[in-house]
């Protein structure tokens, strides 16, 4: 009898296995100054549960997943980070400002209350423009074989 009462209490509180909250399907488009972002990655980082992520395609579209493809993100208001770069000779071209690459600096949040396939995320250059970050790969480090090795101490 006690087991039945305990089971009923747990069921009423919604803590039985399999009763946990599930992600909501979410898809949308990322824009920079009104134009779709042409590729990149997006991450949504809830405070107390798993993050969701997705690749952004050439039309700026994404479909978030948490555990399984296209399962979405948990309900709530969450910070977002977006990285959009393309590799070019000698470096990488940033397609959105670097500040959007971290939840600490992006200032972007989304509020998810129900499934959606038309979430719009608007970013801005604030007067800036895409830029190339050069890779400093001059090759000035000596080859490993030219570095003298010390003899191990004798015992």
74 belongs to a structural domain: yes
Residue 54 has pLDDT above 50, yes or no: yes
Residue 15 has pLDDT above 60, yes or no: no
Domain of residue 41, residue span: 20-125
5 belongs to a structural domain: no
Residue 44 has pLDDT above 50, yes or no: yes
- CATH number for position 121: 2.60.40.10
CB 82 within 8 A of CB 41: yes
9 belongs to a structural domain: no
Among 3-12, 90-99, 145-154, name the one with the lowest average pLDDT. 3-12
CB 26 within 8 A of CB 119: yes
132 belongs to a structural domain: no
* CA angle at 51 for the pair 54 and 98, rounded to the nearest 5°: 65
What is the number of domains present in the chain?
Answer: 1
């Amino acid at each position: 009898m006690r087991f039945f009462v305990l089971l009923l209490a747990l069921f009423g509180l919604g803590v039985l296995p399999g009763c946990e909250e599930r992600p909501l399907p979410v898809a949308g488009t990322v824009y920079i100054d009104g134009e779709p972002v042409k590729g990149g990655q997006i991450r949504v980082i809830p405070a107390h549960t798993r993050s969701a992520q997705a690749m952004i395609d050439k039309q700026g579209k994404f479909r978030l997943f948490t555990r399984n493809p296209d399962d979405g993100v948990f309900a709530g208001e969450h910070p977002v980070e977006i990285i959009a770069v393309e590799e070019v000779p000698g470096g990488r071209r940033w397609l959105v400002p670097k500040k959007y690459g971290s939840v600490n600096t992006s200032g972007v949040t989304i509020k998810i209350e129900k499934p959606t396939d038309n979430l719009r995320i608007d970013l801005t250059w604030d007067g800036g423009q895409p830029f190339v970050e050069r890779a400093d790969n001059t090759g000035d480090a000596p080859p490993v074989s030219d570095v003298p090795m010390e003899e191990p101490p004798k015992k």
